[in-house]
Chains A and B, each alone.
Chain A
Amino acid sequence: MGQIHLDKVSKCFGDVEVIPPLDLEIEDGEFVVFVGPSGCGKSTLLRLIAGLEDVSGGQVLIDGHDATTISPAKRGLAMVFQSYALYPHMSVRKNIAFPLRMAGLDKTEQDKRVVQAADVLNLTDYLDRRPGQLSGGQRQRVAIGRAIVREPAAFLFDEPLSNLDAALRVGMRLEISELHKRLATTMIYVTHDQVEAMTMADKIVVLNAGVVEQVGSPLELYHQPCNTFVAGFIGSPKMNLVQGEEAASYNATTIGIRPEHVMISKDNGLWKGTVGVSEHLGSDTFFHVKCDAFSAPLTVRASGAVELDYGASVFLSPDTSKLHRFDQTGQRLS
């Protein structure tokens, strides 16, 4: 079981309120991702759940029991840290066995579980090495191994992939998702990378300045962002958010249109503009188009086959059915 309920949890550091009272429900077996820009309080929130920080107000309930004042060790949660936090002077085997040793398990049981975990994570060949002799990805796996041997109620990941290179990150992303499917244990995952959030999560919690902006499945957030912050944060490249007369014509203060929902044409369209920088990814090309109607350039996603030179005159037309409208406070108008 790994059901976690936050009831009006808040956190202050001195006079600074980092997290205003916040409610959140995490179901058993869910993969929840906390995402937000750096400094939005997502790591702090995770540490509050872990018990590494004391809450300033409210309650943390784990499986229905009040865990607010329980020590981190007794909450039955396991955490994977950003720096992996492996014990450098212990072998991989001892690192993974450490929580079991602390729990006072007998030696044979420890060995059995370590070997099992190593098997799951492809670490069998590295058991007698020191962390210093491993690559980033392997260290990451050791950190996960140390978490899974405890058979915790929930896993907490604090930006675990941010120290890996891009290719490895994609691989580890898959591995963690795979692990979640296999173990079916609750996982809470903190990241500032919305791609990680979109690809891995069952449920995304978008945080901004300690406030939960929106909670929902990746596609809900993509299709129905409830305000301009979520709209701008979820999706890559970013949604185009424009204000002014053009927005007013749709009865909104701000309108948002995703780069993939704008048609680019040389001959005709709604908005006239000139092509700025274009980014070629092969499969797609992103054009930054400076339109006469807006002050900021629009990002447009087109097929990789489209070729346009810098400074070329083009016309853009949005797919109006995919248009997002927001009022003056940034809230979504349905």
Chain B
Amino acid sequence: MATQHSRSAARLMMAPAVILLLGWMLLPLTMTLVLSFKKYLPLRGGDLGWVGFDNYVRFVSSSAFWPAVTTTLIVVGGVLIITVALGVLLALLLDQPMWGQGIVRILVIAPFFVMPTVSGLVWKNMFMDPVNGFFAHLSKAFGAEPIQWLSQASLPSLIMIISWQWLPFATLILLTAIQSLDSEQVEAAEMDGAGAISRFRFIVLPHLARAMTVVVLIQTIFLLSVFAEIFVTTAGAFGTKTLTYLIFQRVLESQNVGLGSAGGVYAIILANLVALFLMRVVGKNLDA
């Protein structure tokens, strides 16, 4: 790729892919921007003209807006904390030599292969159902009143379901990171008088910092747009309405595309704020 010629040839050959990707990204983005400045009600007259920043003002001033932002942040934060913490523990556990290691590792990864809709329904009907769910039976076995998970503890339930889904991802990445730790480093620390906890604190944890950063950043991208799990469990009720879900309601339930698009733009801004915050906090771990 050194010569002028080969470089321009490379550019030419990459062009179709780049243009396709740009179109893929830019077209919906532009449409969202355009629609957000319009009063657009598909079933009540369609395009009713430009309205300036009306949609933006209405979206923010809605009583559902700030709770939705808070809920989004709580869900993302909660899932991140749980998956990273449990992921580290599970990875440490799976790194130990044990009988049936291969099968156990596959089992641990399994939840990741379950579709969000399916896992949401499985959790809702088989575990969290207050009459027939596993947890209800468990409570009754101990003589306690079954918890109505999705209505009484809706947000923790939601976080639990999503964490269950994403734990395999975190575990997998952290496990590979642990396996790449130089065993001589651990032995050196052992010779230096570090006990198991000190070794974890001073050697293993710093080594995992980069992998944790990757886990946090990638999960955040996906968690900000979590939808299916909410749709099939609470349908946004009981304080589980995230920003994504609010936008969905505005567009499809209220049939107000303009208002929803404005919400979409807010979602982009929120995602960028979160990304900026995360890069500040953990981004430096990515430097070599």
Contact = CB atoms under 8 A, between A and B. Distances in A.
Interface of A: 50, 52, 71-73, 77-79, 81-83, 85-90, 98-99, 102-103, 132, 146, 150
Contacts of B189: 87, 98, 102
Tell which of B189, B191, B202 has the most Cβ of chain A within 10 Å: B191
B39 to A, nearest CB: 56
Contacts of B42: none
A73 B192 contact: yes
B117 interface: no
Contacts of A146: 188, 192
A73 B288 contact: no
Contact of B187 (A77, A85, A102): A85
Contact of A77 (B191, B198, B209, B288): B191
A71 B192 CA distance: 11
Given A87-B203, A89-B206, A89-B209, A73 B184 contact: no
B47 interface: no
B190 A73 contact: yes
Contact of A72 (B184, B190, B207, B209): B190
A78 to B, nearest CB: 7
Contact of B191 (A73, A82, A87): A73
A132 B288 contact: yes
A271 B190 CA distance: 59
B184 A83 contact: yes
B194 interface: yes
B194 A87 contact: no
Contacts of B191: 50, 52, 72-73, 77-79
A82 B193 contact: no
B272 interface: no
B228 to A, nearest CB: 39
B188 A81 contact: yes
Contacts of A79: 187-188, 191
A50 B187 CA distance: 10
Contacts of A150: 192
B184 A87 contact: no
A174 B52 CA distance: 80
A87 B193 CA distance: 14
Contacts of A90: 202, 206
B288 A82 contact: no
27 contacts: A52-B190, A52-B191, A71-B190, A73-B190, A73-B191, A73-B192, A73-B194, A73-B195, A79-B191, A81-B184, A81-B187, A81-B188, A85-B182, A85-B184, A85-B187, A86-B185, A87-B188, A87-B189, A87-B203, A88-B207, A89-B206, A89-B207, A98-B202, A102-B189, A102-B192, A103-B193, A146-B188
Nearest to A71: B190
Interface in B182-223: 182, 184-185, 187-195, 198, 202-203, 206-207, 209
Contacts of B182: 83, 85
* Chain B binding surface SS class: helix
Nearest to B198: A102
A52 B193 contact: no
A153 B189 CA distance: 18
A102 B194 contact: yes
A1 to B, nearest CB: 19
Contacts of B202: 87, 90, 98
A85 B199 CA distance: 13
Interface in B58-94: none
Nearest to B209: A89
A102 B203 CA distance: 13
Contacts of A102: 189, 192-194, 198
Contacts of A78: 191
A77 B188 CA distance: 11
Contacts of B188: 79, 81, 85-87, 146
A52 B183 CA distance: 11
Nearest to A73: B193
Interface in B119-136: none
A81 B184 CA distance: 7
A71 B193 CA distance: 9
A83 B182 CA distance: 9
Nearest to A94: B202
A98 B191 CA distance: 11
What are the nearest 8 A-B pairs in CB distance? A85-B188, A99-B192, A85-B184, A73-B193, A102-B193, A89-B206, A81-B184, A85-B185
Contacts of B209: 89
Contacts of B206: 87, 89-90
Nearest to B186: A85
Interface string B155-196: 000000000000000000000000000101101111111110
Contacts of A83: 182, 184
A210 B191 CA distance: 24
B193 A99 contact: yes
B184 A82 contact: yes
A103 B191 CA distance: 11
A87 B185 contact: yes
B284 to A, nearest CB: 12
Contacts of B198: 102
B15 to A, nearest CB: 38
A70 B198 CA distance: 19
